[in-house]
Amino acid sequence: MIRILVPILFGLFLEPAVQTMNPKPEDLLGGAVHAIGGEDAIKSLESFKLHGMIRFDGRAIIEIDLATALGGKVLAVQTFVGIGQTRFGSDGTTSWEENPSATGSQVFTLIDHTVLSQKVRKLNWVEWLTSLPLQIERMEVLEETMFDQESCWMLQIAPEIESAKKELVFFSKSTKRLIGRRTIEPTKNGDAIVNVYFRDWQKVGDLQLFHTVVFDREGVEIAMVFDTIELNTIDLRIFELPTPVIHMRDNQ
């Protein structure tokens, strides 16, 4: 038996090392979709509602209420603790925002779809996550690395225009979840690295969703913590346009 095993073991050491192939972007995206509940659970999502607080240095500074529904319907309320409140929304056709004026009164303004989308994405990172497949043609898996103390695959998304931010996203090797994002932003003092961490995953209906988003810019952290996330529970009447917005729309 020893005479048989020795040449076999010796032969194994002489075999060239098997090269581990990096996964493809579609493999990582497919794993991430499955990890949060699967394609069917995502497609069944007709409305989404969350409540939370933005905290800096442990102190609550902004309260957030956000509701979205199919057809581009949005209503968001941001209450700046001790200062005042702003709102923005859309009935799926007309988009608007409401901000305090210098005199303290509330002023309504019509905004376009691009501005609305930018505002929503600052609050709703679940939408950013689920819309990643739309950018798959600009994706490339770079390497295995550590991010937020987890072994991850690092994927790069090439910017649509040269001046746009460089963007990296990180997928956990163990859970398959998309656990973070990194952008490199130009400043007057050189490039600044901004990391976004998705933490505190909990089950919500048929989905597994993060309940904390931490923004780390050069060591300065701001946390967005959600205490409530609801799926498919919204009364669509909340998206009806405020009367001043209707007047502005009709007088355009």
Q: Which pLDDT tens digit goes with each residue over 190-210?
A: 888 999 999 999 999 999 999
The distance from CA 4 to its chain's CA centroid, rounded to whole angstroms, is 57
Closest C-alpha to 96, from 88, 105, 104 = 88
Residue 229 lies in a domain: yes
The pTM of the full predicted model, rounded to 2 decimals, is: 0.83
Domain presence at residue 10: no
Distance of CA 37 to the CA centre of its chain: 16
d(C-alpha 71, C-alpha 91), whole Å: 8
Domain count, the chain: 1
| 207 Cβ contact partners less than 8 Å away, ≥ 6 residues apart | 36, 37, 41, 42, 45, 231
pLDDT of residue 2: 31
- Residue 115 — left, alpha, or beta (φ > 0 → left; ψ -120 to 50 → alpha)? alpha
Could you give the residue ranges of the DSSP H alpha helices within the chain? 2-14, 25-35, 39-43, 113-123, 125-130, 243-250
Question: Which residue range is the domain that position 78 belongs to?
Answer: 23-250
Within a domain: 13: no
For the stretch 216-232, pLDDT in tens is: 998 899 999 999 999 99
Phi, psi (degrees; rounded to nearest 5) at 6: -60, -55
| Residue 193 token pair | 């690295």
Within a domain: residue 196? yes
Q: What's the pLDDT at 188? A: 80
Domain assignment present for residue 184? The answer is yes
Of the candidate ranges 5-19, 181-195, 212-226, the one whose mean pLDDT is the lowest: 5-19
More confident call, 208 vs 134? 208
pLDDT above 90 coverage of the chain, percent: 68
- Amino acid residing at 233: T
| Model confidence pLDDT, tens digit, residues 31-61 | 999 999 998 998 899 999 999 999 998 899 9
148, 158, 199, 200 from 224: Cα distances, Å: 16, 27, 10, 11
What is the average pLDDT value for the chain, to the nearest integer? 88
Q: What are 239-252's pLDDT values in tens digits?
A: 999 999 999 999 98
CATH number, domain of 225, equals 2.50.20.10
Tokens (6 digits) for 227: 């205490």
| Residue 30 within a domain | yes
The angle subtended at Cα 176 by Cα 173 and Cα 177, nearest 5°, is 120
